[in-house]
Chain A
Amino acid sequence: MSAAPPAALADPMLPAPWRVRAVRRETADVVTLDLVPLASGVPCFAPGQFNMIYAYGVGEVPVSLSGDPADRSCFVHTVRAVGAVSAAIAGAAPGSVLGLRGPFGSAWPVDAAAGHDLLIVAGGLGLAPLRPAIYRVLARSERFGRIAVLYGGRGPAELLFRDELAVWGARADVTVAVTVDHADPSWHGHVGVVPRLIGQIGFDPPNTVALLCGPEVMLRFTATALRAAGVAAERIHLSMERNMKCAIGLCGHCQFGPDFVCQDGPVLRYDRIAARLAVREI
């Protein structure tokens, strides 16, 4: 009953300062940032996880880690400038400081997919949250059956990581297929939606694990196409986007049915959310 203040808990809402070490432009409105902590070491993260990134005085938004989980020298984030906060982050100059909390959220089940064929299906910016999984898979590709990276974008100019896609595509242990919604005639690759790529690569559906990231519509159609091809619903994993203010299950914003996308997700199992995904505005 004494009025002495109780011992303070570590504050999960307090951002730590991280410095922008390098900036790479990916497309007209997307950049990749390498961030290094001012005060601590670089924590471990699991592919699929995200950080809350704070731009001084502007705000804080969730951004997935897009770098190699084995690289402990920095955190890598790929950001598209769509609004005030993301534009401030994407516009951060080398040397400037951003606030960072994390890593948060669930991970792609990369290790659990060993022994299976692996389909990594990305749409648009969705390749960024999947890239850490691709790095981890390619580092030990012998653990998997056939590996395919399927990537769809709006147009050739909006594709991320084109050089890396070419490098991966040249490897014997992985199939890379890229498609765009529209192109000018100088584009010689696929044109069409991502689900159409599924029919064009060889894999063993009953023994396949699929990791999906992209706009929600693309996720729905891709998951449907995978089900139609015979991939089990519980082996399809997808990453969801919802409004997030806290990332630690306290603010309520990210609710998707009974799930807190910040904690139970962002990577969720399709069989557990398929019915909900079909409901509008849930």
Chain B
Amino acid sequence: METLERLLLGHEFLAGIDPALGRRLVGCARNLRFAPGEYLFREGGPADEFYLIREGRVALELHAPARPPIVIESLGGGEMVGASWLVPPYRWGFDARATADTRVFGLDAHCLRGKCDADHHLGYEMMRRLLPVMVRRMQAARQQMLDVYGHPPA
């Protein structure tokens, strides 16, 4: 347990967190391992766990009928995966697949939501860390939408 606490609080997502707050997360956390090709979760599935990648790589994929699936983003060590666990109805909006040997912390979403609700100080701390990441990813998605390297329509 002590090593889990040390490792979890050492994750970049939680960098600099007040140890007293950070320690409260440990109870929700577990260590997980995914082999290349294994899915962390699938689109539409219950978003009941929040993942912090320790090492490896995770591809976020979308699929549509009669088309090959596309990877919209890849994430690596130090990054977090998804925010659907925080937003009702708590369902994943894409597939997440490990593309390398990947080790993550999984934080149980019920546990996490409960703690954040009970302790707004902790809730605010989580929000403060999540929001910049979400904003950065949204901006990146907008840039991708521009398809800047593609041929502009003549």
Question: Which B residues touch A2, using CB under 8 A?
Answer: none
Known: A153-B149, A215-B148. Is A182-B70 also a contact (CB below 8 A)?
yes
Chain B nearest CB from A221 CB (Å) reads 6
Who on chain A is nearest to B146 by CB? Answer: A217
Interface range, A side: 20 to 34
A51 to B150: give the CA distance in the assembly, Å: 24
The distance in angstroms between the C-alpha atoms of A154 and B150, with both chains bound, is 7
- Pick the contact of A181: B68, B99, B147, B151 (CB < 8 A): B147
B25 at the interface (CB under 8 A from A): no
> Mostly helix, strand, loop or mixed at chain B's interface?
mixed
Within 8 Å of chain A (Cβ to Cβ): is B82?
no
Stretch at the interface among A6-14, A33-41, A162-170, A186-194: A186-194
A185 partner, pick from B69, B73, B143, B146, beta carbons under 8 A: B69
**Cβ of B148 and Cβ of A214 under 8 Å apart?**
yes
Asked if B144 contacts A181 (CB within 8 A), the reply is yes
Give every chain B residue within 8 A of A193 (Cβ-Cβ).
140, 143-144
A84–B99 Cα gap in the complex (Å)? 42
Chain A residues with CB under 8 Å of B54's CB are: none
CA gap between A217 and B144 in the complex, in Å: 11
B131 within 8 A of A: no
Q: Which residue of B lies closest to A153 (CB)?
A: B149
Chain B residues closer than 8 Å to A191, beta-carbon distance: 59-60, 71-74
How long is the Cα–Cα vector from A215 to B151 in the complex, in angstroms?
A: 11
Most interface-central of B60, B71, B74 (chain A CB within 10 A): B71
Asked if B76 is at the interface (CB within 8 A of a chain A CB), the reply is: yes
Cβ of A184 < 8 Å from any Cβ of B? yes
The one of B73, B100, B149 that contacts A188, using a Cβ cutoff of 8 Å: B100
Chain B residue at smallest Cβ distance from A179? B74
| B57 beta carbon closer than 8 Å to chain A | yes
**Which residues of B, 115-154, contact A by the 8 Å Cβ criterion?**
136, 139-140, 143-144, 146-151, 154
In Å, the complex CA distance between A200 and B61 comes to: 21
Question: Which one of B59, B97, B143 lies within 8 Å of A218 (CB-CB)?
Answer: B143
The interface of chain A, by Cβ under 8 A from chain B, is 82-83, 123-125, 152-154, 158, 179, 181-185, 187-193, 195-196, 200, 214-215, 217-218, 221
Knowing that A182-B72, A182-B144, A214-B148 touch, tell me 9 more A-B residue pairs with CB under 8 angstroms: A83-B154, A184-B70, A188-B100, A191-B72, A191-B74, A192-B73, A195-B140, A217-B146, A217-B148
> What are 10 inter-chain pairs, A to B, with CB distance below 8 A?
A124-B149, A182-B71, A182-B144, A184-B68, A185-B97, A190-B76, A191-B74, A215-B148, A217-B146, A217-B148
Nearest 7 A/B pairs, CB to CB: A124-B149, A154-B149, A215-B148, A191-B74, A183-B71, A191-B71, A193-B140
